[in-house]
Structure 1
Amino acid sequence: MVKIHIKKGDESQFLYEIPVDTPIDDILKNITCIYNGRLKIQRLCADVEDLAQHGITLPPNMQGLTEEQIFELKLKDEWEDKCTPSGGYEETKDKYGRRNGKAPNKKMQEVLNKTCKEAKDMISKKKVEINEYVTQATITEAISILKGAVTIVYPMGLPPHDTVKHELENTEDLSGTQASQEVIEEPNASLWWAGKEMLRGKKLSDFVGKNDKTKIVAKLQKKGQGAPSREPVVSEEEQKKMMAYYYKKQETFKKLENDNEDAYMDAPWADSNQLKRQFHGIRDVKF
């Protein structure tokens, strides 16, 4: 199995494993699914954390309004009583005016926040460092545990306009948001390795050879963006170690020079040719 370290730009994403004779089309399909799945979990966790802190989302016509404006317009959230958290709620205020401010109690908040942490750990970029893979099954499991936690805290369900509900039911609308810029649809995806694009219609072995125990770093991006930057010859960590080594070596050399009994020979007054250069008018010439 070929181990592929997937990057987006210079940022690590996840490790992916695939047989060497796999078509590039299949690889792109799987990789974009995992990549977009990770983005979805990140969005979902952010929304679930907001849900834990400030309760359900207000209806669109009430979002961003002050309490006085809501009172003057005689608006009412019909989902407020239908979608109460299990165990009751506590009053909080959402400074952005997106949620109703009736958060779950501390115990239920802990359920949601703990599950978010678990889901984020499952798709963390740190998995690259510990040599663990992220698969489509990982994405499915992470979404499943988040859905389970939301169901425990809100057994009556969430309002149809709540962002958490849309994410869980795959009905989210990302148009016009920054999140939409990050998503890479499979038909518009391209994969690059060693400065070359891995073209569709070919197999992985056409690019990396037939060795099934190869490890490569490949970069995922949208089509039409040109070739991504090449990987540095040495990593940032290796570069830091090299600089520290040479700095230490330089300091040691300086110390040896200071301890040298003949160090005075480098002083101007010890130069036997100084008088000769002075007569020839080349005293300050640097060699």
Structure 2
Amino acid sequence: ITPTEPKHQFYFECTQTDTTESVTKLGLRLCNYLQYFRKMRELLVDLSKHGQLRSQEARGLDEPLENEQLGPNRDKECYRDGFIPNENGQRLIQEALQKIDVLVSSNFINKIPTNIKSCEDLVDIIKGTLMIIYPSGVTDEGLKEAINQAEDYSNGLYNDDGFINVESGALFFANKALTMRGETMKALNALENSTIKCIPSKSQTYAPRSHQDQNNAEMMRYVYMREQEKKKAELMTEDDVYGRDWADSNNLKKQLQGMGDVRFK
């Protein structure tokens, strides 16, 4: 899978007899799981540095609420309680973070396929880690939601950035949705042990572009429109033609560098 963010690429395996629909759903679930672990990684790092999230009404307040205690490791935004896990808890968190890094990035570098079981096992490891650190339960709302709703996140049921609904999303291969290629993966006419690149998309009809591809497309469109304007200008005799934006040979460079004119209404 090759998302528009290159560092989010990963491998997974399928066979020629698998249906394109099942492969699409599997690929999107794995894509969601890896995004979920990136989100979980941030939460665990914040927990290890500044403790658990405070209650919603207390976040951002410098002083504690009634019956609230604050620890010495608070964050600048005053969102967390400042009580970090003990030494053993910190060790367990670091072990969980290392496992996340392996699944999210190292496996792709080493061309190791990702699968659902490895994702589900990692969710269980994170759950176990938090149960050991907080035997009476986690009070951090962000962590609680992420842990309890892992399955929903994997199916893309939340409209969070980076998650794709498994039922309505698609995998694009050669600018066409995988499911439109045929019923099974055999329709791709790929040899056994072949590697194909697919782009995950929230839409069945549109494959998202990388930022670089988008910039290139915008530049080509600008050049095309400028040439069209020049052709029209040849048929005009008014002096103000040469004052138009398209007549400035440096205008394209200025726009691409973010140096265009700034106007206030």
- Pairwise same-fold verdict (TM > 0.5): yes
Residue in 1 that maps onto 2:246: none
Normalised to the residue count of structure 1, the TM-score between the two structures is 0.63
Q: Deviations over 1:151-171 (max 9, x none)?
A: 111111112x52111111117
User: Gaps spanning 5+ residues in structure 2: where?
Assistant: 211-265
Partner secondary structure for residue 192 of structure 1: strand
Residue type of the alignment partner of 2:97: C
Question: How many Å separate the matches in 1 of 2:174 and 2:189?
Answer: 10
Aligned to 1:133, which of 90, 96, 113?
113
- Counterpart residue number, 1:43: 39
Query: Does the 8 Å contact 1:15/1:134 carry over to 2?
Result: yes
Aligned counterpart in structure 2 of residue 75 of structure 1, from 66, 78, 83: 66
Structure with the higher fraction of residues in strand conformation:
1
Q: Matches of 1:97 and 1:114 in 2, distance apart?
A: 27
Secondary structure in structure 1 of the residue aligned to 2:198: strand
What residue number does 1:8 align with? 3
Q: Which has the higher helix share?
A: 2
Residue number in structure 2 paired with 1:242: none
Segments of structure 1 that go 5 or more residues without pairing to the other structure are 1-5, 81-88, 231-287
How many Å separate the matches in 2 of 1:171 and 1:118?
17
Matching residue of 1:98 = 79
Query: What is the alpha-carbon distance in structure 1 between the residues aligned to residue 5 and residue 167 of structure 2?
Result: 22
C-alpha separation in 1, matches of 2:62 and 2:159: 27
Question: Which amino acid in structure 2 is aligned with residue 93 of structure 1?
Answer: R
Selected match of 1:169 from 129, 148, 154: 148
Answer whether contact 1:188 1:223 (CA < 8 A) is retained.
Answer: yes
- Superposition deviation, residue 17 in structure 1: 0.6
Shift, 1:127, TM fit: 1.8
Secondary structure of the structure 1 residue equivalent to 2:9: strand
2: CA distance between counterparts of 1:53 and 1:228?
36
184, 193, 205: which one pairs with 2:186?
205
Asked whether the 8 Å contact 1:119–1:145 carries over to 2, the reply is: no
Identify the residue that residue 61 of structure 2 maps to in structure 1: 65
Instruction: Report the counterpart of residue 215 of structure 1 in structure 2.
Output: 195
Give the TM-score normalised by the residue count of structure 2: 0.68
Shift of residue 198, structure 1, vs aligned partner? 1.6
Tell me how many residue pairs correspond in the alignment. 204
Instruction: Point out the structure with max Rg over C-alpha.
Output: 1
RMSD over aligned CA atoms reads: 2.8
Change (3 A) 1:199 1:224: closer
Match of 1:155 among 135, 142, 145: 135
Amino acid at match of 1:122: L
Large movers: runs of 4+ above 4 Å: 171-174
The Cα shift of 1:10 comes to 5.5
User: SS in structure 2 opposite 1:215?
Assistant: coil
